[in-house]
Amino acid sequence: AVIKKVKFIKSAVNPKDYPPPHFPEIAIVGRSNVGKSSLINAIFKRNIAKVSSSPGKTRLINFFLLNDKIYFVDLPGYGYAAVSKAERNKWKKMIETYFHTRENLSLVIMLVDSRHQPTKLDIMMKEWLESLGIPYIVVATKADKLNQSEKAKTKKIIRETLGLPKDFPVFLTSSKEGTGIKELVSYILDFVSK
Ligand code: GTP
Ligand code: MG
């Protein structure tokens, strides 16, 4: 099996509390409620990250370790309307600091909801990652909610809306049904081993 050992390491806000940067790191970003924590659970095949039907569940930077060799990071989401300006600024500062200081960050997985066109905030996130030169891929979540014809169109709509080239890696996944998870995990493991 590819997933041999998984461990929750810690939650942190400030760099001094991040675990030592001894392994390559994969971070998951995306709107609140898009399914970041659920994706961690689907990849790890157990309920290790906290999931909630109401947005804004994950508030800290959560570090997990896979097979004693790759960190996975579950980040708080953006774009939750009911959040105060002060909360939004706190989020921005926390993520910005993480992106700017985390030297072992290898890849960002940017999640978008497969049922909707990527939002303005998704476009801003993608542009932010590009401006920082952080490698990223896109994962569309909740594919189990789509019918066949919608499934066929999703990746194209996402690439067009985010302004990505035709061959840019976009994965269509369902954490609920496990669809697309194997392919995603292979890609990630391949990516970090290069
Ligand atoms: P925040 O921590 O608030 O930023 O949210 P998150 O992105 O971590 O989302 P989370 O994983 O907590 O999931 C939000 C809701 O979406 C929960 O009710 C999940 O059960 C649901 N959900 C996540 N992934 C899927 C999926 O693949 N299919 C379906 N049908 N529901 C999903
Ligand atoms: Mg979460």
* Contact call for residues 20 and 108 (beta carbons, < 8 A): no
Ligand 1 close to Cβ of residue 175 (< 6 A): yes
Rounded (5°) CA angle 31-48-20:
85
Q: Among 3.40.50.300, 3.30.930.10, 3.40.920.10, 2.60.40.150, what is the CATH number of 6-193?
A: 3.40.50.300
Tell how far the Cα of 175 is from the centroid of ligand 1, in angstroms.
Answer: 8
- Starting at the earlier edge strand, list the strands of the sheet with 105-113: 6-12, 61-66, 70-74, 25-30, 105-113, 136-141, 170-172
Element containing residue 65 per DSSP (H, E):
strand 61-66
Would you state the structure tokens that stand for residue 80, as one six-digit string?
């939750």
Element containing residue 188 per DSSP (H, E):
helix 181-193
Pairing label, strands 25-30, 105-113: parallel
| Dihedral sign of CA atoms 22, 24, 29, 34 in order | negative
Residue type at 122?
D
CA 124 – CA 135 distance, rounded (Å): 15
Decide if pLDDT at 83 tops 90.
no
What are 7-18's pLDDT values in tens digits? Answer: 999 999 999 999
Q: Which residue has the tokens 């992106």?
A: 99
Q: Is the pTM of this model over 0.95?
A: yes
What are 105-132's pLDDT values in tens digits? Answer: 999 999 999 999 999 999 999 999 999 9
| Non-local CB neighbours of 132 within 8 Å, separated by 6+ positions | 99, 100
* Contact call for residues 11 and 93 (beta carbons, < 8 A): no
Tell how far the Cα of 36 is from the centroid of ligand 2, in angstroms.
Answer: 5
**CA 75 centroid distance within chain:** 7
Q: What's the ipTM?
A: 0.99
Mutation test residue for ligand 1: of 28, 29, 33, 172, the one with most atoms within 8 Å of CB: 33
Would you state the structure tokens that stand for residue 156, as one six-digit string?
């194209």
For position 22, what pLDDT does the model report? 96
Pairing label, strands 170-172, 105-113: unpaired
Domain ranges (residues) in the chain: 6-193
Model confidence at 59, in pLDDT bands (50, 70, 90)? Answer: confident
Decide if pLDDT at 74 tops 90.
yes
Query: Strand, coil or helix: what is 107?
Result: strand
What are 130-186's pLDDT values in tens digits? Answer: 999 999 999 999 999 999 999 999 999 999 999 999 999 999 999 999 999 999 999
| Dihedral sign of CA atoms 153, 156, 160, 161 in order | positive
High-pLDDT (> 90) share of the chain, %: 89
Model confidence at 57, in pLDDT bands (50, 70, 90)? Answer: confident
Decide if pLDDT at 84 tops 90.
no
Decide if pLDDT at 37 tops 80.
yes
Model confidence at 81, in pLDDT bands (50, 70, 90)? Answer: confident
Decide if pLDDT at 194 tops 90.
no
Question: Closest ligand to 54 CA?
Answer: 1
Ligand 1 close to Cβ of residue 79 (< 6 A): no
